[in-house]
A and B are shown apart, each in its own frame.
Chain A
Amino acid sequence: MHNTVRVQTTINGEAREFLCEPRQSLLECLRDVLGLTGTKEGCNDGNCGACTVLMDDRVVTSCLVLGVEAQGAQITTIEGIARGSDLHPLQRAFLQNAALQCGVCTPGFIVAAKALLDREPNPNEEQIRLWLANNLCRCTGYDKIIRAVEQAAEEARA
């Protein structure tokens, strides 16, 4: 009686088509249907930011988006941040600054921070902290993450 829905979307620049149930979140579709497991499930209710992806021109928590809403959208996940084996400056800066321990929050932080740097190439510390307020990290105490974003911004401007 219930039908699955065919969704045509663009993920990391590539046209993708998948079948899902309307009740499945975009997060579930990415991980369980499309095998893109870089996007992490944290709280599953929009508080922690671990599942952050870009959807068209905005940053969203994919646990609070239905997979069917991705019809016609441009989605960018953590898998689309590096160019081949060339890490994005943010990814390099996270490694160099040890801005992660367990790593579950990291894809969300990097995707959200990329959206910030795309809009504001020279953010101050307050702007970075404010922009990333929807991303929680229980390991690092945030300071290393902020330094990493500052370093990546500096590199990108150089």
Chain B
Amino acid sequence: MKWFDYATPASVGEAVGLLKTHPGARLLAGGTDLIVQLRAGRKETDLVVDLKHIPELNAIGYDAAGGLTIGASVPCYKIYRDPAIARAYPALIELASLIGGTQIQGRASLGGNLCNAAPSADSVPLLIAMRATCRMTGPGGTREIAVEDFCTAPGRNVLQPGELLVSLHLPPPAPHSGARYLRFIPRNEMDIAVAGAGVEVVLDDGKFRSARIALAAVAPTPLFVREAGDALAGQPVNETTIARAADIARAGAKPITDMRGTADYRRHLCGVLTRRALEAAVQRAREGKR
């Protein structure tokens, strides 16, 4: 690795100041992407800014009225050990448990996964489906955007120079709602998604009140397929309506062929994973387990 200096700001303001004086600085949360990229020479920097000493980037906060706030550098293992998240957002527990393996989960954060902006990022489709928003702070102040608007291209996102992701926010779980992320990989653990589908459904008396569906690894960014979820709104919960939504999701995918799978195979996976994720989310909503 090339030489760099290292800073541990204690506040968001201090971090923003460092980004201003060091435009080439890189932000470090868990390092499971950044350290690999620096070592391989895919990224260079003169300053690594470690975000783990900033309280609000490392906190989890939940209340039933306001929802959930996850600091941008909170590692996965803290998410799946959090009893409030386990009760209110069980799909997030599964999500944090399937990224990498135990060691990666000890370091990797959802915020880092989002900022790295890989098309295959496992955490992003579910965050989109669960209506998560991003809070970002920079020299111009603080702004919030929806997660589906954050990634702009492989490895690229909307963060402006000097701006950093502070936290992710999820609204409180709606009554009779359920969420699920499913991913296909050729082994059980430790692999990059060939395709993935994250969904959330809200049920109302045997019908879908609303649904949101997003896909991984089938477009240059994590892909929100709004029309697939919208097609379920007001429809009865049954095989036919779920199959139709899965067809729309499959049609919305824009995959490429690479060493992990062909475009055709990925499209097929989108249909299957969307259907199964919807079925699982419906089950969860009916059981009141979200």
Residues of A within 8 A of B (CB): 2-3, 5, 21-23, 25, 44-47, 49, 52, 55, 58-61, 63-66, 68-69, 112, 115-116, 130-135
Contacts and interface: CB of A to CB of B under 8 A. Distances in A.
Given A25-B35, A66-B48, 10 more contacts: A22-B3, A22-B6, A58-B106, A59-B102, A59-B106, A64-B31, A64-B107, A65-B35, A65-B107, A134-B100
A142 B189 CA distance: 15
B102 A133 contact: yes
Contacts of A58: 75, 77, 106-107
Nearest to A1: B3
A66 B45 CA distance: 15
A2 B101 contact: no
Nearest to B37: A45
Interface of B: 1-6, 28, 30-32, 35-36, 38-40, 48, 50, 52, 75, 77, 100-104, 106-107, 188-190
A130 B189 contact: yes
Nearest to A108: B103
Contacts of A112: 102-103
A3 B3 CA distance: 10
Contact of B36 (A49, A64, A116): A64
A47 B100 CA distance: 9
- Mostly, the A contact residues are mixed
A47 B58 CA distance: 25
Contact of A45 (B39, B101, B107, B190): B39
Given A22-B4, A23-B3, A58-B75, A134 B107 contact: no
B3 A2 contact: yes
A2 B5 CA distance: 7
Contact of B39 (A44, A49, A132): A44
A46 B189 contact: no
B2 A49 contact: no
16 contacts: A23-B38, A46-B100, A47-B190, A55-B106, A58-B107, A65-B31, A65-B35, A65-B107, A66-B50, A68-B50, A112-B102, A130-B189, A131-B102, A132-B102, A133-B101, A134-B102
